[in-house]
């Protein structure tokens, strides 16, 4: 799914849509917090995936001109 996230981030960067990027970043951060709290199953792969997506989103945000 990271390639999908890369394409989404690239689109938002082209549109200079900081709000959308911050929204998906917040969503992924919330998801990561929930995954870390999971018990009874091993969420390591999901945590790694979401962490990678957060890195991609943060990199996209870093390319935008500061407000």
CB contact at 8 A, 53 and 4: no
The total domain count for the chain is 1
Q: How far apart are alpha carbons 32 and 47 in whole angstroms?
A: 6
pLDDT score recorded for residue 1: 66
- Non-local (6+) Cβ contacts of 51 within 8 A are 32
Rounded percentage of the chain residues whose pLDDT exceeds 70: 97
Does pTM top 0.95 for this prediction?
A: no
Question: Rounded to an integer, what distance in angstroms lies between the CA atom of residue 25 and that of residue 55?
Answer: 9
Give the closest residue to 46 by CA, choosing from 58, 57, 60, 36: 36
pLDDT tens per residue, range 33-46: 999 999 999 999 99
Whether the pLDDT of residue 14 is over 90: the answer is: yes
The parent domain of residue 36 ranges over 2-63
């Amino acid at each position: 799914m990271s390639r999908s996230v890369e394409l989404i981030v690239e689109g938002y960067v082209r549109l200079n849509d900081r709000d959308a990027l911050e929204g998906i970043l917040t969503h992924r951060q919330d998801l990561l917090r929930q995954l870390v709290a999971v018990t009874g199953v091993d969420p390591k792969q999901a945590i790694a995936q979401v962490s990678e997506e957060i890195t991609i989103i943060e990199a996209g945000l870093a390319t935008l001109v500061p407000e």
